[in-house]
Amino acid sequence: MVADLSRPNTLIWIAVLIFTSATANAQRSSALSADLPDSRTMALQNKVDRLFGAGNFERAFFLYRYDLAPLGDKYAQYMVGFLYLSGMGVEKDSTIASAWYRLAAERGTPEFVAVRDRLLRDLNDEQRRRSDDYYRELRLEYCDLAVLMSSIRRSIEELDARTGSRVPGANSGPLTVIDVQRGTVVSGEEYYGMQRKRLELRVKLLQEAGDFHDMETDPDKINLRELERRVQERIAQLNQ
């Protein structure tokens, strides 16, 4: 059976495991990203941690689940699982919790792997089947490869929509743009040049993370539909 998480000592021990972990903060953003978290994301991370610490579990759950977990924040994905497991801020469901723990542990972080494995051992056969099904759904959207692919798609669509080309400066004109990540105003040519560079970095990260040795990495030659197909196939092959 799953451990009795109504016992305060159990709740405190699990929370402390994460909050004092030296590796926890390294999971706050996707390891497969060409960018550091922007100021808004970091402010949101600090806010939700304060909400959790103050006992506002319902609001904390919403922010972990719908704002941070989709960004590849493994800490947030773990906390979604923790709140499901404990029934704090959301209806208790150990099966759904196990699926979120599996997602959080995909990078092999020892602390996350340990709680994932402990919970999976406590599931019966029917619960394990439900966990498998839910985990497959989650990783299609929120695993590292999916998050990175989503970032690549947005970059390609932005470059193609603005310039009709991924070549820096093409048809960009004398536009000025506010770079939200850096909080600065730059020329259109500079901004889209940076976007193209980020795209190139993300594609190379995807090539390495997905083990796509023959993948085209030149941003000007990327076939978005083909790339998405390959990523989806690779995600479907993921285990555990």
pLDDT one digit per residue (tens) for the chain, 240 residues: 344 444 444 454 454 455 444 455 666 665 555 555 677 888 999 999 899 989 999 999 999 999 999 998 999 999 999 999 999 999 999 999 999 999 999 988 888 899 999 999 999 999 999 999 999 999 999 999 999 999 999 989 888 886 555 555 555 455 555 555 555 666 767 878 888 888 998 899 899 888 998 888 888 889 999 999 999 999 998 765
Quick one: which of 149, 152, 112, 117 has its CA closest to 131?
Answer: 117
Q: Are residues 47 and 125 in the same domain?
A: yes
Q: Which two tokens stand for residue 88?
A: 């704090």
Q: Are residues 116 and 48 in the same domain?
A: yes
Q: Are residues 214 and 133 in the same domain?
A: no
Which long-range contacts does 65-71 make (Cβ < 8 Å, 24+ apart)? Answer: 68/41, 68/44, 69/100, 69/142, 70/141, 70/142, 70/147, 71/29, 71/30, 71/37, 71/41, 71/147
Residue 205 lies in domain: 144-236
Q: Is residue 1 part of a domain?
A: no
Q: Is residue 2 part of a domain?
A: no
| Number of domain units in the chain | 2
Q: Is residue 3 part of a domain?
A: no
Q: Are residues 15 and 115 in the same domain?
A: yes
pTM above 0.95, yes or no: no
Strand ranges inside 98-214, DSSP E: 176-179, 184-187
Among 105, 120, 142, the domain-final residue is 142
